Amino acid sequence: MSAPINIASLFRKTKDIFSFHGGVHPPENKAQSTCLPIGSLELPEKLVLPLRQHIGTIPKVKVAVGDHVLKGQLIAEAEGSVSAAIHAPTSGAIKSIDNAIIPHPSGLPDQCVTIIPDGKDTWIERSRQDWRNGDVNTLIASLRLSGIVGLGGATFPTQVKLRKNGKSEIQTLVINAAECEPYITCDDMLMRERNEQIVLGIQVAQRLLGAANVIVGIEDNKPEAIEAMRLATANTDIQIKVVPTLYPSGDGRRLIQLVLGKEVPHDKRATQVGIQVFNVATVVALYRYFEFGEPSLSRIVSMTGNVAQPQNFEVLFGTPLMHLVNAAGGAKPDTTHYIMGGPMMGFNLPSTDVPITKAANCIIAASPTLFAPQPPAMPCIRCARCAGACPVSLQPQELYWFAKADNFEKAQDYNLFDCIECGACSYVCPSNIPLVQYYRYAKSEIIALDKAKEAANLARERNEFRLARIEREKEERAAKHAARAQGAKTAKGEENKTAPTTDKQAAIAAAIERAKAQKAAGNNPPKNTTDISDRTKAEIEAIEKRRAKAGITDDMPRTIDADKQAKIDAAIARAKAQKAAASKDDTTTTASTTKQPVADAEKQAKIDAAIKRAKTLKAATAKPPTSDVNNKPVADAEKQAKIDAAIARAKAQKEAALKAKDKQVKED
């Protein structure tokens, strides 16, 4: 190896490359798409940008239909802690913001922004950032506007991976250039043609992470790329490690095992043991963002399979699939459908109308000759070839039984969620059992059941709370009634007119006091921890622990459904508006409603309209008001309590959402 001596090499064990259990070696089929250099495409007639192009929250749209946007202009901004922005890949007009089919195995439509290019490709103003000397935290924070996600296919927002949480220091940066899936060659071509940019990108990532060592892992079936990378890293401390071609060496944990001999514990992320993995294309995107101010607008896509001339192309996000297919000479007549990703882990594209997204590393035109239909599945004969091929050392034959029988508990006992769905087990199964399908099915069922269970628990608690409240109110009423009766007895005659009023006034005053106190304590949101069951307490504690582990603090922006946030905002705003209206009507003024954050103008307008409507309705309706006017402040206080409770609940939900996300999020 030509790498110069560095600190890492002093500690290096005698073994340079390690190995993992199992793995398979499918035919590579990479040569077809590496004959030609990376090509570029003409501007397509339209660009369809799905908002869901990454793992995490859907970003918030910042443009409106009819707007003219410039190349690189922000179209949707990251929302919540795990999210990524989306930018206009070229200049043009926003044609629509609505549902369209996205490249997703579900084949379901989702929110997309459609841009009609104006053909000028006018850039927005770009600025360089000094990534060599600039403040690391500022640089990382600015990445929130970059839209960069892991380009290896996992599409985890890169900013989140770089964000410091004071928890773990990254010692080693592993650059994933293994590209183990057959057919895919986008990273190979990137390394051959843009090795200098990769090295600069690695230096960017290294600076941001503060990693001492950098190791680039490349499979030995890419000699040209290895040569190019060796050339470019000659005078750096970046190590190139050539790993044997064995699928799935490109899986993050497998690659770490290969190049470092370290097994990342199943319940930890690589970052927790001081290792960060970046795809080779991701670091180039990082470099281009800081050096040229270019957000993530395009990627290299391998267009291969049953097309006239397979080739890699630099493709703008949102480019229609057929535009890319035609650039590769068009599909051959016997093409049946298109696969996104490789033949081991990819999925059928639901339509030819889908756009290229950040996750699209490869498009394969499929034909019956390329991918022969499999004979029907036979019963499992327990030959355990799958267990021999499993890179995680699972027992796929056992998991298959459990998944098939919906025995989810047992499936989890056998570590179903450690399965990386690489497909090696299905690949070697003599009985042609679609094993991975069973695991995907079981996993999504388990996740859905867990969610349903959580929802049921929440509903139970809320119901119990409500019943308790009704009970309490009944008691209070009874007590009041008794007091009034008592007062009537003692006061007699004329005094019994005033007594209840003062009573009521006192109650109102007390309620206002309570509301004020609550509001004053507003920074410290009520956690409803006083009268909850031990189990719930334990759950909350567990959640807190998890949050602490994940490095989430209360002042961090929480991941929350845009939808949900909007609803909560609306509810708060409405409640506020109602209160304002109520206090206007009332003789007793509460004068404490201005402290809350101002809802955005649009919502305010809506609320105003609603109030107006409500007022007209009130005027028009012959119905007598259902509640006593005098009781209003009390009702208000109660409502405030309800709102507070709702906020607390929303928080709890946010945490639940975070938890669910935690489960799904995997390293790039």
Partner 1 sequence: MLTALYIMLGLALLLGAALGYAALKFKVEGDPLIERIDAILPQTQCGQCGYPGCKPYATAIANGEADINQCPPGGDEGVRALADLLGVEYKPLNEEHGQTKPKAVAFIEEDLCIGCTLCIQACPVDAILGAAKHMHTVVASECTGCELCVAPCPVDCITMEPIEETPDNWKWKYPTIPIKPVINLK
Partner 2 sequence: MDRSPYIANAPSVSNIMLKVLIALVPGIIVYAWQFGGGVIITITLATITALVTEALMLKLRRRPIKPFLTDYSAIITAWLLALAIPPLAPWWLIVVGTAFAIIIAKQLYGGLGYNPFNPAMVGYAVLLISFPALMTKWPAALSLAEAKLSFSAQLDYIFNQTLPASITLDAITSATPLDYLKTQLKLQQSMSTIQSAPIFGALGAKGSEYVSLAYLLGGLYLWQQRIITWHLPIAFLSTIAVISGIFWVIEPSQFANPVFHLFSGATLLAAFFIITDPVSGPTTPKGKVYFAAGVGIITYLIRAYGGYPDGIAFAVIFMNICAPLIDAYTQPRVFGHQE
> Quick check: 159 and 144 in contact, CB under 8 A?
yes
- Extract the tokens encoding 74: 């922000």
Torsion angle, alpha carbons of 163, 168, 172, 173, to 10:
-20
> Quick check: 50 and 112 in contact, CB under 8 A?
yes
Cβ-count burial of 303 within 10 angstroms (0-12 exposed, 13-18 middle, 19+ buried)?
buried
For the bound state, the minimum distance from the C-beta of residue 107 to partner 1, rounded and expressed in Å, comes to 6
Contact positions with partner 1 (CB under 8 A) in 101-120: 102, 104-108, 110
Residue 507 CA from chain centroid, whole number: 48
Residue span binding partner 1 (CB under 8 A) among the ranges 33-41, 181-189, 190-198, 564-572: 564-572
Residue span binding partner 1 (CB under 8 A) among the ranges 201-209, 491-499, 590-598, 607-615: 607-615
Binding residues for partner 2, rule: CB under 8 A, are: 20-21, 24, 26-27, 182, 253, 257, 263-268, 339, 341-348, 366, 371-376, 378-385, 387, 391-395, 397-398, 414-415, 418, 423, 426-432, 434, 436-437
Reduce the DSSP state of residue 181 to 3 states and report it: coil
Residue type for 638, please?
E
For the bound state, the minimum distance from the C-beta of residue 108 to partner 2, rounded and expressed in Å, comes to 17
Residue span binding partner 1 (CB under 8 A) among the ranges 124-132, 303-311, 380-388, 637-645: 637-645
Question: For partner 2, which is the closer residue by CB, 172 or 206?
Answer: 172
For the bound state, the minimum distance from the C-beta of residue 453 to partner 1, rounded and expressed in Å, comes to 9
Which of partner 2, partner 1, none sits in contact with 385, Cβ below 5 to 8 A by type?
A: partner 2
For the bound state, the minimum distance from the C-beta of residue 265 to partner 2, rounded and expressed in Å, comes to 5
Any contact of residue 443 with partner 1 (CB under 8 A)? yes
Reduce the DSSP state of residue 382 to 3 states and report it: coil
Any contact of residue 648 with partner 1 (CB under 8 A)? no
Question: For partner 1, which is the closer residue by CB, 168 or 412?
Answer: 412
Question: For partner 1, which is the closer residue by CB, 110 or 118?
Answer: 110
Contact positions with partner 1 (CB under 8 A) in 115-144: none
- Residue 543: phi and psi, rounded to 5, are -65, -45
Of 403, 394, 533, 392, nearest to 462 (Cα)? 533
- What CA–CA distance (Å, rounded) separates 242 from 239? 10
- Extract the tokens encoding 580: 């304002």
Question: For partner 1, which is the closer residue by CB, 488 or 610?
Answer: 610
> Quick check: 264 and 253 in contact, CB under 8 A?
yes
In the block, which residue shows the tokens 């309705």?
617
Question: For partner 2, which is the closer residue by CB, 264 or 324?
Answer: 264
Parallel, antiparallel or unpaired: strands 347-348 and 337-340: antiparallel
Question: For partner 1, which is the closer residue by CB, 513 or 585?
Answer: 585
Contacts with partner 1 by CB under 8 A: the residue count is: 71
Which of partner 1, partner 2, none sits in contact with 27, Cβ below 5 to 8 A by type?
A: partner 2
Cβ-count burial of 535 within 10 angstroms (0-12 exposed, 13-18 middle, 19+ buried)?
exposed
- Extract the tokens encoding 469: 């409240």
Give the per-residue contact string, 409-438, with partner 1 (x = CB under 8 A; - = no): -------------------------x--xx
Question: For partner 2, which is the closer residue by CB, 340 or 575?
Answer: 340
Any contact of residue 457 with partner 1 (CB under 8 A)? yes
> Quick check: 391 and 20 in contact, CB under 8 A?
yes
Any contact of residue 653 with partner 1 (CB under 8 A)? yes
Residue 595 CA from chain centroid, whole number: 33
Reduce the DSSP state of residue 122 to 3 states and report it: coil
- Residue 153: phi and psi, rounded to 5, are 125, -20
- What CA–CA distance (Å, rounded) separates 520 from 517? 5
Contact positions with partner 1 (CB under 8 A) in 466-485: 466-467
Contact positions with partner 1 (CB under 8 A) in 177-206: none
Which of partner 2, partner 1, none sits in contact with 392, Cβ below 5 to 8 A by type?
A: partner 2
- Extract the tokens encoding 328: 């590769």
Which of partner 1, partner 2, none sits in contact with 346, Cβ below 5 to 8 A by type?
A: partner 2
Dihedral sign for Cα 178, 184, 187, 189, please. Answer: positive
Which of partner 2, partner 1, none sits in contact with 397, Cβ below 5 to 8 A by type?
A: partner 2
Q: Which of 132, 567, 612, 663: binder of partner 1 (CB under 8 A)?
A: 567
For the bound state, the minimum distance from the C-beta of residue 111 to partner 1, rounded and expressed in Å, comes to 10
Contact positions with partner 1 (CB under 8 A) in 52-81: 52
Question: For partner 1, which is the closer residue by CB, 382 or 618?
Answer: 618
H/E run at residue 664: helix 632-664
Residue span binding partner 1 (CB under 8 A) among the ranges 62-70, 284-292, 590-598, 608-616: 608-616
- Please list the alpha-helical segments (H only) found in 367-434: 385-389, 396-404, 408-413, 424-428
Question: For partner 2, which is the closer residue by CB, 190 or 339?
Answer: 339
For the bound state, the minimum distance from the C-beta of residue 30 to partner 2, rounded and expressed in Å, comes to 14
> Quick check: 191 and 177 in contact, CB under 8 A?
yes
Question: For partner 2, which is the closer residue by CB, 345 or 571?
Answer: 345
CB < 8 Å & 24+ apart, contacts of 599-608 = 599/569, 599/570, 599/572, 599/573, 600/569, 603/569, 603/570, 603/573, 604/573, 606/570, 607/570, 607/573, 607/574, 607/577, 608/577
H/E run at residue 160: helix 158-162
Region of residue 442 (phi > 0: left; psi between -120 and 50: alpha; otherwise: beta): alpha
Which of partner 1, partner 2, none sits in contact with 459, Cβ below 5 to 8 A by type?
A: partner 1
Q: Which of 455, 482, 520, 598: binder of partner 1 (CB under 8 A)?
A: 455
Any contact of residue 647 with partner 1 (CB under 8 A)? no
Contact positions with partner 1 (CB under 8 A) in 570-589: 570-571, 574-575, 577-579, 581-582
Parallel, antiparallel or unpaired: strands 47-50 and 109-117: antiparallel
Question: For partner 1, which is the closer residue by CB, 192 or 651?
Answer: 651
Q: Which of 441, 480, 526, 661: binder of partner 1 (CB under 8 A)?
A: 441
Any contact of residue 661 with partner 1 (CB under 8 A)? no
Contact positions with partner 1 (CB under 8 A) in 272-331: 331
For the bound state, the minimum distance from the C-beta of residue 614 to partner 1, rounded and expressed in Å, comes to 5
Question: For partner 2, which is the closer residue by CB, 266 or 535?
Answer: 266
Question: For partner 2, which is the closer residue by CB, 26 or 525?
Answer: 26
- Extract the tokens encoding 663: 């489960």
Question: For partner 2, which is the closer residue by CB, 115 or 264?
Answer: 264
Q: Which of 490, 530, 553, 621: binder of partner 1 (CB under 8 A)?
A: 621
Question: For partner 1, which is the closer residue by CB, 106 or 589?
Answer: 106
- What CA–CA distance (Å, rounded) separates 361 from 38? 13
For the bound state, the minimum distance from the C-beta of residue 627 to partner 1, rounded and expressed in Å, comes to 5
Quote the DSSP letter at residue 355: B
The verdict on whether omega for the bond into residue 248 sits within 30 degrees of 0, i.e. cis, is: yes
